[in-house]
Amino acid sequence: MRRMIRLVTFAGLIGIVCLWGGCGNKEETLDGHEMQLMESEDVADIGYLSTEAGYMSAGVWQTAETQEEIVLTVGVVSENSDFQKKIDLFEQEHPEYKIEVQLYDPADYGEDPFTQLKMEIAAGKGPDVINFGSDYSESAVAARLTDDLFEYMEEDEAFHIEDYFENILQAFAVDRNLAAVPESYSIGTAAGLKQYYSDVEEWDFATLAEIYDSYCADHILYPGESKLDVFSFLCTGTIAQYLDWQTVECHFDSEEFAALLQFADRFPEQMIYSEDMKLRKLFAEGTALLYRTSISSVWGTGLDREMYAGQEIVYHGYPVTGNVAESGNIVLGINCNSDQKAESWEFIKYFLSETYQAEKANNLPLHRGALQKRIEAASQITYTERSSEKVPVMKERYFEGEDPVQIAAITKEDADTLYELIESVHAAADVDYSLYNIILEEVQAYFSGDKELEDTVDVIQSRMKVAMAEKIR
């Protein structure tokens, strides 16, 4: 016969409690604590136990008969082995969940990887959760495929937004809506010796041109500079300022964008690079005015300090936009049509938890406590044994053909610089390359002398207006 039991007390994790027949009055939990079981005729007390073992979850006895599996679909637009590993870990820690990944391959649905997703969501369908991944950009979420995650954060009493860098979350918001949240981020920036930038009050393309004019006789902007490379670097960090997704308008006919084109046009047509060029030396001696970098870990500012031989540097970032946040390969949003929104939020919240952020997030954590834990760990020198001797484990940055930049630990000053850098971010710079490629097509005719500046910006403005409208329809 089927035996019913009522749980009176429990402690620790419960293993197999009772199989058919001969169930005694006491069983041990896996940690050795005793648990009392009593026979009961009251079905409401706990439910039934079958030959399959149940388990304890959040203080509630779950059985194979009563526990329902939560199946969430997650849409992705590219294969992502890292994300799959994180999903596997989530399922291990949350056995009540099953995550089914659905690939929306651009090869099947056209150039825009979100075309099919938009069609499904417009029809009231689509996956519960979307991982925009490395294809994330403001244009990807401008069509309002997903809910505002700020609302979930506000309504969840267990979630405390003050524990996070709110300026970073706001940087990824579009029209004040957080349509998708990255599990971590990097900071796109440009650094240089403070002596070149100490008098800068307004950081724009005109100021950058003035600094370059002051030192170009015996300095370079950065190694490998060319017209197209300088334009590409500066455009990727500032393109968002020319796009307004709330009004679906663009501003490539502005004076600022024209100034960017004119500045880039001052450089050589082709990249100039010699085999005896020593990049570390160019930066350390200040011959290069600007160092393009992305701070993706707590080690970044320390490696920069070492590369500049301890000289004082500033992170001025991109003209106008300054230092910008860059997402990684996990950027999650909740389908506005999902009928499992609470469950979808729990899935996303796993990636925002302090434990995950401290131990598993790929780049800089969003969570303040998680970042502090990483800083504390990086502040301590760790050792390994080599040839029977203990030697410090070094973090390194490589330059081809040169000795690497090495540090064994970060300093308090490095950590303070990182915090200042993070707090300075107020914009994101994730690029929609289908839009970016339109710009690149048109500027090359200008750089080669085949098209005038005014004609170039007019064509870019016209083409981008059409492309933006197609993105959100």
Whether 170 and 250 map to the same domain: the answer is no
Q: Identify whether 416 is part of a domain.
A: no
Question: DSSP assignment, residue 341?
Answer: H
Whether 249 and 210 map to the same domain: the answer is yes
Whether 172 and 215 map to the same domain: the answer is no
Q: Which domain holds residue 108?
A: 70-184+327-362
Whether 109 and 227 map to the same domain: the answer is no
Whether 35 and 46 map to the same domain: the answer is yes
Amino acid at 221: L
Least confident of 76-90, 274-288, 344-358: 274-288
Q: Identify whether 405 is part of a domain.
A: no
Whether 357 and 299 map to the same domain: the answer is no
Q: Identify whether 378 is part of a domain.
A: no
Give percent of the chain above pLDDT 90. Answer: 66
Q: Identify whether 138 is part of a domain.
A: yes
Whether 237 and 304 map to the same domain: the answer is yes
- HEC letters along 90-153: HHHHCCCEEEEEEECCHHHHCCCCCHHHHHHHHCCCCCCEEECHHHCCHHHHCCCCECCHHHHH
Nearest CA to 407 among 421, 393, 417, 390? 393
Looking at residue 53, its pLDDT comes to 38
pLDDT tens for 155-201 read: 999 999 999 999 999 999 998 999 999 999 999 999 999 999 988 88
> Do residues 325 and 429 touch, judged by C-beta distance below 8 A?
yes
Least confident of 109-123, 222-236, 244-258, 385-399: 109-123
CA distance 272 to 29: 70
Per-residue pLDDT at 221 exceeds 70? yes
Whether 107 and 171 map to the same domain: the answer is yes
CATH of the domain at 221: 3.40.190.10
Residue 340, phi then psi, degrees to nearest 5: -130, 55
Residues with Cβ within 8 Å of residue 82, at least 6 apart in sequence: 329, 330, 362
Q: Identify whether 55 is part of a domain.
A: yes
Which residue among 342, 362, 382 closes a domain? 362
Whether 198 and 105 map to the same domain: the answer is no
Residues with Cβ within 8 Å of residue 278, at least 6 apart in sequence: 399, 402
Count of structural domains, the chain: 3
Range with top average pLDDT, 58-62, 109-113, 168-172: 168-172
Amino acid at 417: T
Altogether, the residues listed in the chain come to a count of 473
pLDDT tens for 311-361 read: 999 999 999 999 999 999 999 999 999 999 999 999 999 999 999 999 999
CA distance 403 to 278: 10
pLDDT tens for 200-215 read: 888 999 999 999 999 9
Looking at residue 397, its pLDDT comes to 93
Q: Identify whether 423 is part of a domain.
A: no
Please name the residue that has the structure tokens 């991944």: 133
| pTM of the predicted model over 0.75 | yes
Whether 302 and 343 map to the same domain: the answer is no
Least confident of 104-118, 405-419, 448-462: 104-118
pLDDT tens for 358-373 read: 999 999 999 999 999 9
Per-residue pLDDT at 4 exceeds 80? no
Q: Identify whether 420 is part of a domain.
A: no
Tally the C-alpha atoms within 13 A of residue 157's C-alpha that lie toward its C-beta: 0
Q: Identify whether 340 is part of a domain.
A: yes
CB-neighbour burial class of residue 85 (10 A; exposed 0-12, middle 13-18, buried 19+) = exposed
Whether 341 and 460 map to the same domain: the answer is no
- Please give the structure tokens belonging to residue 393: 């484990």
Whether 189 and 251 map to the same domain: the answer is yes
Looking at residue 110, its pLDDT comes to 64
